[in-house]
Structure 1
């Protein structure tokens, strides 16, 4: 796993996504209302909508293009819509936020 510092918690407003690029991989990072930080790939499986621009509700983000509801914990799209997105482990220690990517996820 590759661990990358993406900034501080203050860089992540609550209930708003932030897109970050880590070695060519675009990741959407969210700080939930409870302060927990989640990271998923920044691409809806339906039409590629930028999830970082979506509306956050609880542990879900709604794609800004067609409002598909995606769980930020497991990446699954809410039924009846099919699909899922990659999720990435996040570590928030002190004020520093780190995202972990599997080595095979990193683009050359």
Structure 2
């Protein structure tokens, strides 16, 4: 039998509390989480730690569905957490959703 665990969704902020093409940091015991907002109000959440040298992704530049790390300009895909070629590595991703203006994370 294939049983899927129901995720626990936690409200972290309102969409207006995240700058357009920016992020907001949510503190978490396993490390800070950067919650990103794209130009079309899609939200994504990644561990605030670049897979290259640990730079704060929350301070990077959001473009499309990517963020550019402020330290060494690695481009990280917000959907998957994967570094874009030629770079290799992955930032931990957290499921996120937007409902009625409220941002939720599954931790």
State how 1:31-50 maps to structure 2 within 5 Å.
31-50=37-56
Q: Aligned partners of 2:104, 2:29: CA distance in 1, in Å?
A: 14
Other-structure match for 1:11: 17
Which of the pair has more CA radius of gyration?
Answer: 2
Specify the alignment match of 1:106 in structure 2.
none
Q: After superposition, give the CA deviation of every residue in 1:72-108 in whole Å (9 maximum; x if it has no partner).
A: 001110111110111111121102111111xxxxxxx
Give unmatched runs, 5+ long, in structure 2: 1-6
Structure (1/2) with the larger strand percentage: 1
- TM-score norm. by structure 1 comes to 0.88
Runs of 4 or more, structure 1, over 2 Å off, are 22-25
Supply the distance in 2 between the matched residues of 1:8 and 1:19 (Cα, whole angstroms): 13
How many residues align? The count is 101
Q: What is the correspondence of 1:26-65 to structure 2 with a 5 Å cutoff?
A: 26-65=32-71
The 1-side partners of 2:49 and 2:29 are apart by 16
Q: CA RMSD in A?
A: 1.1
- Output the TM-score relative to the length of structure 2: 0.88
